[in-house]
Structure 1
Amino acid sequence: MGASEWYIGLMSGTSLDGVDAVLAAFPSGAPMQVRGHVHGPLPEALRHELLALNARGDDELHRAALAANGIAEVYATAVRTLLVQTGCDAAAVRAIGAHGQTVRHRPGEFDGVGYTCQLLNGALLAERCGIDVVCDLRSRDVAAGGQGAPLVPAFHAARFGRPGEALAVLNIGGIANLSLLHADGRVGGFDCGPGNALMDLWCQRQRGLAFDDDGRWSATGAVHPALLAHWLAEPYFERAPPKSTGRDLFTAAWLDAGLATYPRLEPSDVQATLTELTARCAASALQRHAAATTRLLVCGGGALNGHLMRRLAALLPDVTVGSTADAGLPPLQVEAAAFAWLAQAFVERRPGNRPEVTGARSPRLLGALYPAA
């Protein structure tokens, strides 16, 4: 493999469960190759600060700048670990595609343009790694009138799309997004609702655990129909694409507003209802916008939630539901691989967005470059 063909993708998503790093190559006319993958946790103090920066607070500019430095250091550690594990020299890596940590996402709002904010000191990451860094991958799409998200459908189409097959990819991170790969080659996609964020929040509150392992706790509860209906009445779910969302909408306050309407529920029943909400939003969106889909591939942390996967299968009886591992790419590697792919697109001066997904005026080159020293 030539030196110019290796790329590193770095992803820390809205679930705030850590950083995934993938070393990958995308040779022309040949299958994608993944040489290695590492996952590293976020330091608890940094994780807490990033959660806090999703809402208004004191001295935000100072705190955000330091958090951006902290993300760069965590990313650099992941890169070093990945290079050691794979035996790859930094000089052999053409570029790093780094997502950064989303703390605000408000495209199209306020002044007609809005913004999306992913914290990351790209200059510091380039200094620490000695590799070109491509980051700030969403802002140009927003500047062109788009949502800036989701960006992964373009990669999903390249990696999983098959002519003549109606397939969808569901990424369940903190927020869930769907990529619709139609049999005729059309590509669609949008954020369909909450993913793990609310389930994790409730599990942390009630059990002191970061997440509901394999959905075992939610499987012991019973869905509360009235609470589920209350949450499903959220206007976002009925909005037509292009659309995207995040922790700006699906906040602790959003969760608590529903719980205040139906107090004194068993905690396990709330967890079961939150799991059903995630499954129902995704299944309903798929049926509404791509009813001909015959296969659904799930990635992200949600693919490891057995109860959630069973609920998706039950809600989509005519669709084969499985993990992206069934198509050769483990679910925790997909998003990081997508940002490695976006880095290659930037280096080769190819557009990284799909306007039919994001709503941008036309295709755009995505990202800002911080060259290696």
Structure 2
Amino acid sequence: MSDLYIGLMSGTSLDGIDAALADFSSGKCKVLGFHYIPFSEQLKQQLYQLSQPDHPIYLHDYGRLDHMLGHLFAKASQQLLDKAQIKPEKITAIGCHGLTTHHAPTSDHPFSLQIGDPNVIAEKTGITTISDLRRRDMAVGGQGAPLVPAFHRYFFARHLPVCVVNIGGISNISILKKSEEVLGFDTGPGNTLMDYWINKIQHQPYDKNGAWAASGHVCKVLLSHLKKDTYFQHPPPKSTGKEYFSARWLKQKISRFNDLQAADIQATLCQLTADSISDAIEEYGSECQKIILCGGGSHNHHLKKLLRQNLNRSVETSDAYGIDPDQVEAIAFAWLARQTIHRLPGNLCSATGAKNPVVLGGIYPGKSMCLGGK
């Protein structure tokens, strides 16, 4: 029986869609292909507006973008299979994270919303699609995030103890010890604040290699002010998003620092990301002497330098462990789809705070799936 799965991921950076093809037939994860579709500038702007906290949203716009992304996710899957020269009927399922428009795990009525219509994906590809992977965890008291620590435990089990750091728009860590329990949580901003600031000042999508941050000087007073935010004081389990660490959050925090140079603010934001990650590792994962970086932020040379200075231990990208840092999250959602197909839990209670493990997501049958079973 085929044990091939596709994972689809679009993160809080709103840059595009990652599609990964993974083979689990050997009991291990072998990556057979990867494909990336960038979003157009127009779509980026529409998605940015949709995900702004307290921004009025028309249901017509929400539904239109949900449908549009469904088609783009399907296109990414089809192009991935074309590159790998594998027929759709060979794929057991697609795991689609979707694109998060709002994540509110601590509100009076907790919820997490992702768009990218799985009905469209299943119909266009003919492949069974697993989506809406966060809300079942929330139904049993969890935060619906982070979900990747379970995959990190599966993939990096031979290297314990180790800490895996995923730096996307938001940063999250998985502390993998030799004991069974895994601790995973969002540490705070990853690239999101730095991306916003360089886009506002220099009209660039991101700070390549952290060069602009490296050109500035960290303002210790501002850094201390930022680090006093209550999110950093909360113990795990905890998760967050761009709804919290938003443009509005940053504007409020820097409002009394008008005399600072723009590059110094960027340098301070980069230091904030490094410090919030490092502080979390020192407090909860001090026994981990190996730090594995993945996600877009793993390419930020200046950020990596700061992490090495803070932690004084081995800090390497996941390349050194046999998996491309840009592919880890997409592969994780392929693995989560496999868990769902096999009726196995995908959440870790120690990471999300759920009362009990649950099978995640909704199943949207493809052409080869009988409605009565697998």
The alignment's TM-score, normalised by the length of structure 1, stands at 0.96
User: For residues 59 and 281 of structure 1, do their structure 2 counterparts lie closer, same or farther at Cα, with a shift above 3 Å needed?
Assistant: closer
Tell me if the contact between 2:23 and 2:29 (Cα under 8 Å) persists in the aligned partners.
Answer: yes
User: For residues 108 and 256 of structure 1, do their structure 2 counterparts lie closer, same or farther at Cα, with a shift above 3 Å needed?
Assistant: closer
Per the alignment, residue 324 of structure 1 pairs with 318
Equivalent residue letter for 1:214: N
User: For residues 58 and 131 of structure 1, do their structure 2 counterparts lie closer, same or farther at Cα, with a shift above 3 Å needed?
Assistant: same
Match of 2:9 among 11, 20, 23: 11
Tell me if the contact between 1:133 and 1:372 (Cα under 8 Å) persists in the aligned partners.
Answer: yes
Deviation at 1:26, TM superposition (A): 1.6
Per the alignment, residue 261 of structure 1 pairs with 256
SS for the counterpart of 1:104 is strand
1:131 equivalent in alignment to 2:131: no
Q: 2 CA distance for matches of 1:325 and 1:39?
A: 18
**Cα deviation digits, residues 220-248 of structure 1 (max 9, x gap):** 11111111111101100010111000011
**Cα deviation digits, residues 53-77 of structure 1 (max 9, x gap):** 2233444322111111121122112
Give 5+ residue unaligned stretches, structure 1. none
Match of 1:87 among 58, 67, 85: 85
Deviation at 1:321, TM superposition (A): 0.3
Match of 1:145 among 133, 141, 153: 141
User: For residues 346 and 86 of structure 1, do their structure 2 counterparts lie closer, same or farther at Cα, with a shift above 3 Å needed?
Assistant: same
Per the alignment, residue 345 of structure 2 pairs with 351
Q: 2 CA distance for matches of 1:284 and 1:108?
A: 23
Per the alignment, residue 295 of structure 1 pairs with 290
Q: 2 CA distance for matches of 1:264 and 1:77?
A: 48
SS for the counterpart of 2:213 is helix
Equivalent residue letter for 2:234: R
Give the number of equivalent residue pairs.
366
1:340 equivalent in alignment to 2:338: no
Equivalent residue letter for 1:75: F
1:37 equivalent in alignment to 2:34: yes
Equivalent residue letter for 2:12: T
Match of 1:285 among 280, 283, 301: 280
Name the stretch that deviates more: 206-215 or 38-47.
38-47
Q: 1 CA distance for matches of 2:168 and 2:106?
A: 23
Tell me if the contact between 1:10 and 1:22 (Cα under 8 Å) persists in the aligned partners.
Answer: yes
**Cα deviation digits, residues 299-320 of structure 1 (max 9, x gap):** 0000011110111010001x21
Match of 1:310 among 305, 312, 315: 305
Name the stretch that deviates more: 280-289 or 257-266.
257-266
Name the stretch that deviates more: 128-137 or 100-109.
100-109
Equivalent residue letter for 2:357: P
Deviation at 1:28, TM superposition (A): 5.1
Q: 2 CA distance for matches of 1:141 and 1:178?
A: 19
The alignment's TM-score, normalised by the length of structure 2, stands at 0.96
